[in-house]
Chains A and B, each alone.
Chain A
């Protein structure tokens, strides 16, 4: 029987496929796995939809907070920050917005840009640390990177927009949280061993 199959394979071999690999029998997943895979894909798509909605709302909220911060900072009587003084991050400013005082540093486009670049370096470092994200994390990562590239597109049209740079920083923070959360999970897994 082996000889017969051998003959069959040899007869169907071509220069493109000299070993007759195309003649290998079809392989398929276990029964019922297609439904399982589809359920997993649908769950991921649903989750992604929720993330998108949350991000949209989050972006809206962040933009509003940033607008308030900028407005307050530009109010007459607002003090310029002292040189060399430690300045709060944009995220700190956003989270402390209700208590924001006139002395809060004005987050100009250049400053936001510099913060974003610094954040980018930290993200690169974290990305190297993270050795492959599981699917659950991967979806968020792809989503956040997509949103960042969308903001980048908008920034390329309006490079001085403080609002856009603020949004970019917010997204970078989320990406950083994602990596850190994954690393924490990884480490706790090791600790439990």
Chain B
């Protein structure tokens, strides 16, 4: 069962107050969802600054359109969709120094040497993927979206999502588990 980092309970009163424009309630929602929003934006865009832009724009849109949230589904799902839509829209507009920012990101991580193993390599491998492949594999495998939902986000057919997922997984396997048993991601991540 997939548990999204967005899956944060929010009381109805906070949402109702935020819908009326209460800044304190908006601030509470912002603080609760900033980390998962930034995280998914970063995973999809692979650029810290772009992730901040996407996060800011997503929250501005969310607060502007909060009245449209009817409460028939969990708030976190609605919020997550707003963030993902912004990330996809930003990616469509064009590249923004993705590779350079990835290196920057690794420096900021300051991970101990021990962590530079499988998980870190998978991270780097993810960054090597085509941006659409990366988004599709992340949205499907981590966020738990169905092919139909992903296809809807890209205004494409279901087979588009399936093909992209299959290709992304194959590429990741190729990068993370090279035939020699040596990690190849660092080379590919160049």
A contact set with B: CB distance below 8 Å: 1-6, 9, 16-30, 33-34, 36-38, 40-42, 44-45, 48, 131-132, 135, 138-139, 142, 146
Contact = CB atoms under 8 A, between A and B. Distances in A.
Contacts of B51: 29
Contacts of B93: 131-132
A99 B164 CA distance: 64
A26 B5 contact: yes
Contacts of B116: 2
A41 B142 contact: no
Contacts of B161: none
Contacts of B183: 2
B17 interface: no
B70 interface: no
B57 interface: yes
Contacts of B111: 25
Contacts of B173: 19
Chain A contact residues: over half helix, strand or loop, or mixed? helix
> Most chain-A CB neighbours within 10 Å: which of B27, B111, B142?
B142
B30 interface: yes
Contact of A24 (B52, B53, B123): B123
B57 A17 contact: no
A84 B114 CA distance: 81
B68 to A, nearest CB: 11
Interface stretch (B6-14, B32-40, B75-83, B152-160): B32-40
A33 B122 contact: no
B35 A29 contact: yes
A171 B23 CA distance: 28
Given A19-B176, A41-B60, A2 B52 contact: no
15 contacts: A5-B115, A5-B117, A18-B141, A18-B169, A21-B137, A24-B122, A25-B115, A28-B38, A29-B48, A34-B31, A37-B30, A38-B27, A45-B23, A45-B60, A142-B64
Contact of A30 (B53, B60, B108): B108
B126 interface: yes
A1 B119 CA distance: 11
B61 interface: yes
Given A21-B122, A142-B64, A2 B117 contact: yes
A185 B27 CA distance: 33
A30 B52 CA distance: 10
Contacts of A30: 48, 108
Contacts of A34: 31, 34-35
A7 to B, nearest CB: 9
A17 B35 contact: no
Interface string B112-156: 001111110011001000000000011011101000000000000
A27 B39 contact: yes
A57 B118 CA distance: 60
Contact of A16 (B23, B26, B144): B144
A3 B119 CA distance: 11
Contacts of B123: 24-25
Given A19-B172, A142-B64, A28 B122 contact: no
Closest 6 CB pairs of A and B: A2-B117, A5-B117, A6-B118, A132-B93, A17-B141, A5-B118
B55 interface: yes
Contact of B119 (A24, A33, A131): A24
B30 A38 contact: yes
B29 to A, nearest CB: 11
A27 to B, nearest CB: 6
